[in-house]
């Protein structure tokens, strides 16, 4: 009986997460502008944490496992917030955004891309912990590929 309760609570929690991440439509221009601002701010944070790691992968910066671990952890945390900001449909308002309308009609694909982004960040952390600089290149490549995939599909 205890396992049934745990299973039921797990299903309820999963349902709440799905509902929390479901695409919503901005109800006013003010809300749409705020959604765009938050999206852009989130991606500035992604950029500020990913850029040093891309620099290390290219050899432009010295390999630093501490920076990799810290920044990868931050990227994992940012991934957890992405759906909240990406899935606010702002297409009904005249807001300055580079988001393609397709972003708001492909929720399952967006969620899959976010999951791959987080998985790539976790891979970077594991590579850093291993101390093997060779494994880092593959891990950062996965992150870059995830970024590119989303940009190709959902950014003007």
Q: What is the pLDDT of residue 131?
A: 81
Of 58, 44, 53, the closest CA to residue 71 belongs to 53
> Which residues are known binding-site members?
147, 150-151
Sign of CA dihedral 83, 47, 44, 128: positive
Q: pLDDT 10s digit of each residue in the chain, 156 long?
A: 544 444 444 444 333 334 455 679 999 999 999 999 999 999 999 999 999 999 999 999 998 999 999 999 999 999 999 999 999 999 999 999 999 999 999 999 999 999 999 999 999 999 999 988 788 889 999 999 999 999 999 999
pLDDT at 145: 94
Residues of each annotated binding site for heme c: 147, 150-151
pLDDT score, position 9:
41
The whole-angstrom distance between residue 39's C-alpha and the CA centroid of its chain comes to 11
| CA–CA distance, 135 with 127 (Å, rounded to integer) | 6
pTM: 0.83
In the prediction, which pLDDT does 22 show? 64
Beta strands in 3-148, from DSSP E residues, in sequence order:
24-25, 88-89
Q: Distance from first CA to last CA of the chain, Å, rounded?
A: 52
φ/ψ of residue 92, rounded to 5: -80, 5
Write down the architecture of domain 23-154 according to CATH.
Up-down Bundle (1.20)
CB 28 within 8 A of CB 42: no
Tell me what pLDDT residue 14 has. Answer: 39
The Cα-based distances of 1 to 5, 6, 8, 13, 15 in angstroms read 7, 9, 11, 19, 21
């Amino acid at each position: 009986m205890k396992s049934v309760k745990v299973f039921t609570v797990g299903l309820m929690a999963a349902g709440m997460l799905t509902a929390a991440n479901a695409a919503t439509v901005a109800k006013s221009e003010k809300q749409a502008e705020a959604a765009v601002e938050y999206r852009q701010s989130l991606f500035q944070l992604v950029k500020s944490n990913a850029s040093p790691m891309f620099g290390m992968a290219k050899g432009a910066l010295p390999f630093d496992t501490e920076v990799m671990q810290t920044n990868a952890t931050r990227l994992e945390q940012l991934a957890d917030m992405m759906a909240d900001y990406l899935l606010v449909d702002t297409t009904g308002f005249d807001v300055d955004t580079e988001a393609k309308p397709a972003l708001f009609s492909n929720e399952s694909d967006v969620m899959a891309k976010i999951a791959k982004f987080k998985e790539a960040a976790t891979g970077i952390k594991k590579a850093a912990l291993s101390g093997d600089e060779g494994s880092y290149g593959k891990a950062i490549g996965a992150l870059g590929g995830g970024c590119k995939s989303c940009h190709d599909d959902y950014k003007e």
